[in-house]
Structure 1
Amino acid sequence: MTPLMTASVAWYVTGRFYLSSEDATLQDLGYFLHLEGLPGSLFEDPSGKVGEATARLTFRSTPFKPITVTNGGLTLGRDPVGDFTVYLKQPGHAHADFARPETFSDGLPIATFRRASVVVGGAFSAGSRALSLNVFTARLVWSAEFELEGRLYDLKALLPDGITQWGEAGPEPIADPPKGFSVVQPFLGSAVALGGGR
């Protein structure tokens, strides 16, 4: 297994940010739409519905406390260094369900990434239009070999230096957040492979 080419697409993910109503911590979780280097399907039934309920690879971050900065109509979020873990859904484990955030970490952990520095994102709205973006680099700090569709993989072989990801949040929060959360915001993440140097 050879590493992905530097700056080539590494993955596409989608997920949601969850803001705790108890301690104002934030966490993000979701699932992989595509992971370059894994030719098999990332969903239980390739011909059926694609979504969190059939996703084979999910992720979840450790909770963190963002710092908010405002500059006129622009709201900036500064997220501290933190980890997120990738999980492989094994047969018999609960399907992922955005109404139950804990189900995204109910699986076999296969890799942990650490954001390499403070993450800064910006959000603004004008009339009925809203936009929220962020970008971060994450280093691979731990991985384990795993099997998918009869083949063995290891994210250390595919992404030894980690990734840089751009994220875009949806224009509207989810109407009915799960108990314990005050705001839930959907997002899309697109990552490229890092190469060389630490």
Structure 2
Amino acid sequence: MTPLMAASVVWYVTGRFYASLDGTTSQDLGYFLHLEGLDGALFTDPKNPSEATARLTFRSEPFTARKVTNGDLSLSLDAVGDFSLYLKREKHVGASFDDPESFSDGLRIATFRRASVVAGGAFSGVPATQRALSLNVFTARLVWTTEFEFDGQRYDLRRLLPHGITQWGEAGPTVITPTPKNFSSVLPFFGSAVAVGPGPIR
């Protein structure tokens, strides 16, 4: 197993941001649509890819964002924090956005740490369309991994992504009313990441 080429796309994910009831913290969680270098189906039913059939999920630790406003542009600056990847096995296969805990009840296979402040921006739409778009970007280094078996092969993300990733995220304008009662709002998003090349990340 060789490291993935620097600046090449390594994964696509989709998930949701969950805001706490008091608005002081957020967390994100979801599942993988693609992970380069991993052979095998990422869903128990490849014809029906969804959180319910996902075999590889992720979840962040709760974090607090500082808000900055510039006209109709709303910015958020998130502190350095961790997120982990989980391999769903046996009875834990699949997850539900109605149960955030289900995204972290598998085998933890890696933990990444955001290497710097995450910057995000949300652009408000004009009243006629109510369109809006949220964007964010961050770099994360790999701080912990363990070997795991996937469809008969052994993997370790430290060999695939030894220097970490940079991810861009996009979220639409529609906030979902959360089913879990301990959250105030939920926002779906899509993320794509590229491999970071050699060099120190402070």
What is the root-mean-square deviation of aligned Cα atoms in Å?
1.1
1:54 to 2:63 alignment: no
Amino acid at match of 2:158: K
Looking at structure 2, the residues matched to 125 and 115 of structure 1 have their Cα atoms a distance apart, in angstroms, of 27
Q: Which runs of 5+ in 2 are unaligned?
A: none
| TM-score, scaled to structure 1 | 0.97
Q: How does 1:89-168 map to 2 (within 5 A)?
A: 89-93=88-92, 95-127=94-126, 128-168=130-170
Query: Any conservation in 2 of the 1:129–1:171 contact (CA below 8 Å)?
Result: yes
SS in 2 for 1:24: coil
Q: Which residue of structure 1 aligns with residue 31 of structure 2? A: 31
What is the Cα deviation at residue 24 of structure 1?
Answer: 2.2
Mark the CA change 1:23 to 1:52 in structure 2 (over 3 Å): closer, same or farther.
same
Q: Which residue of structure 1 aligns with residue 83 of structure 2? A: 84
Looking at structure 1, the residues matched to 37 and 120 of structure 2 have their Cα atoms a distance apart, in angstroms, of 29
Query: Any conservation in 2 of the 1:56–1:89 contact (CA below 8 Å)?
Result: yes
Percent identity, aligned pairs only, is: 69
Q: Which residue of structure 2 aligns with residue 185 of structure 1? A: 187
SS in 1 for 2:90: coil
Q: Which residue of structure 1 aligns with residue 70 of structure 2? A: 71
| TM-score, scaled to structure 2 | 0.95
Query: Deviations along 1:68-116, whole A, 9 cap, x unmatched?
Result: 1101111000000000000000111263100000000010000000000
Q: Which moved more, 1:174-183 or 1:122-131?
A: 174-183
Q: Which moved more, 1:49-58 or 1:22-31?
A: 22-31
What is the Cα deviation at residue 170 of structure 1?
Answer: 1.7
Q: Which moved more, 1:104-113 or 1:126-135?
A: 126-135
Q: Which runs of 5+ in 1 are unaligned?
A: none
Looking at structure 2, the residues matched to 61 and 22 of structure 1 have their Cα atoms a distance apart, in angstroms, of 18
Amino acid at match of 2:33: L
Amino acid at match of 2:177: A
Looking at structure 2, the residues matched to 2 and 87 of structure 1 have their Cα atoms a distance apart, in angstroms, of 22
Query: Deviations along 1:101-155, whole A, 9 cap, x unmatched?
Result: 0000010000000000001110011222101000000000000001111111110
